[in-house]
Amino acid sequence: MKTYVVGSGVTKVDRHYDKNYLVLIDEAVGKTLANSGLDASDIEYLVVSTAFSESILNQADPSTYIAQNLGFRNVKALTVSSGEVSGAVALDYAHALIRSGKASRVLVVGFEKMSEYPSWVINKVYSKILEYEVEGIKNVAPSDYAALIMNDYMRRYGVSRESIIKWSIKMHENAVKTPHAQLQFTISADSLSKALRISEPLTMLDSHPTSDGAAALLLVNESVAKKAGTTPIELVDVESSVNLPIYLRDDLTYFSATAAAYKRLSSRNGVKLTTNTAINVYDTYDIYGLLTIEALEICARGEAVKCVDEMPYLNVGGGLKARGHPVGATPLYQVHELRELMSGASWVKYDGDISLAHAMSGPDNNAWLILLKGWV
């Protein structure tokens, strides 16, 4: 049984001070149902993805209240919470429901409200993606690892600080063309010297912003997809892998979990990514985006900065860097952007057959890949 995406909708990624998570989800689900041609009463499963609703919103299992708020009366609802990869895990679960024949119409909803508290609170919550008993109690923040890795990468491959920022520059250029992106302005390498340092040499220009947002995807089986009022995109496969703790890795600059997941996905599905494949990868920090395209074998090790300009379909929505990172919703935003790209609704035309979304927790601690294919 194959899985298809027949509807998707997102809110603008922003600091939504005046909207709670239910209002954001209402908007995303409304758009999703509207462009799928299906009705709320058709939904069998509601799979909700959030990383931090318990920490930030004091809400355990929000799926119950989301279902109630959406007016879903006879639906099976559950919450998936798996750190920064929650959205990818939720999609895998929905995919499994459809593949197994247990469900034919599954609505996946992802959300996060990160602007509810001052940054010192939110930074502490976000740092929970690392291992609390090892890193948390020692006050190591995710950005500290990005800084260490950036330093190591520059030293190992002789890459300059100014060339790494090329990634962020491209992400901001893409965000300007993406209506739902958070940071809709361009940046330049000249801004680097004035940018505030997060953790030397990492600056604000290298990092994702604090974001609120909600996204929804409607996944269905083949028979429902054929009757859908829109061109479906196939969700072909999901693969993942867990890396060693960062302090046990031989090489900080190699994202081996992403690489292992890609090898399995690639051989199982007979696909190979190139610079012309549409991909949407996690770039919580620009250095992570660069390491990811190397782990995905699109660019040689140490050569990623040279590839960036040759990749027209790289994070067309602006990436986590500029579209923003509403954590539990981010993988759903990625798939939504790829769906728009493959269905001709994006700002750039794409003729490729496949596309790939990549999500990961921290510096490749847990990497997930989602393979999509156009309707044949």
Partner 1 sequence: MTSSRFRVGIVGWGAYIPVYRIKAKEIARQWGFDDRVTDSIWIEEKAVAGADEDTVTMGWYAARSALLRAGVNPGDIGAVFVGTESKPYAVKPSSTIIADALGISAKKLSTDLEFACRAGSEGIRISVSLVESGAVRYGLAIGSDTAQANPGDVLELTASSGAAAYLVGPADESVAVFESLVTYVTDTPDFWRRDGSRYPAHGEGFTGEPAYFHHIVSAVKMLMNESGLKPSDFDYAVFHQPNGKFPLQVGRMLGFPREKVLPGIVTPWIGNTYNASALLGLAKILENSKPGQRILVAPFGSGAGADAISVLVTDKVLERVGKAPTVEELIARKKYISYAEYAKFRNLIHRNLW
Binding site for partner 1 (CB under 8 A): 15, 17-18, 115, 118-119, 194-197, 210
Nearer of residues 197 and 227 to partner 1, judged by Cβ? 197
Q: Which residues contact 371 (CB under 8 A, 6 or more apart)?
A: 235, 236, 237, 238, 239, 265, 269, 271, 354, 355, 356
Query: By the 8 A CB rule, do 337 and 313 touch?
Result: no
Cα(47)–Cα(92) distance, integer angstroms:
10
By CB neighbour count within 10 A (0-12 exposed, 13-18 middle, 19+ buried), where does 196 fall? exposed
We find the least distance from the C-beta atom of residue 115 to partner 1, in angstroms, to be 7
CB of 203 to partner 1, least distance (A): 9
Rounded least distance, CB 61 to partner 1, Å: 28
Give the Cα separation of 203 and 197 in Å (integer): 4
Q: Give the separation between CA 137 and CA 132, rounded to whole angstroms.
A: 6
Q: What number of residues does the chain have?
A: 376
Q: Which is nearer to partner 1, 119 or 267 (CB)?
A: 119
Q: Residue 185 or 347: which CB sits closer to partner 1?
A: 185
Nearer to partner 1, 101 or 118 (CB): 118
Work out how close the CB of 294 gets to partner 1 at its nearest, in angstroms, rounded to a whole number. Answer: 30
Cβ distance 33 to 40 under 8 Å? yes
Least separation in angstroms between residue 207's CB and partner 1 is 13
Complex with partner 1: residue 114 or 357, whichever CB lies closer: 114
Q: How far apart are CA 144 and CA 133, in angstroms?
A: 17
User: Tell me, what DSSP letter sits at residue 178?
Assistant: -
Q: Which C-beta is closer to partner 1: that of 209 or that of 232?
A: 209
Q: Smallest gap, in angstroms, from Cβ of residue 83 to partner 1? A: 24
**Structure tokens that stand for 69 in this block:** 């708020």
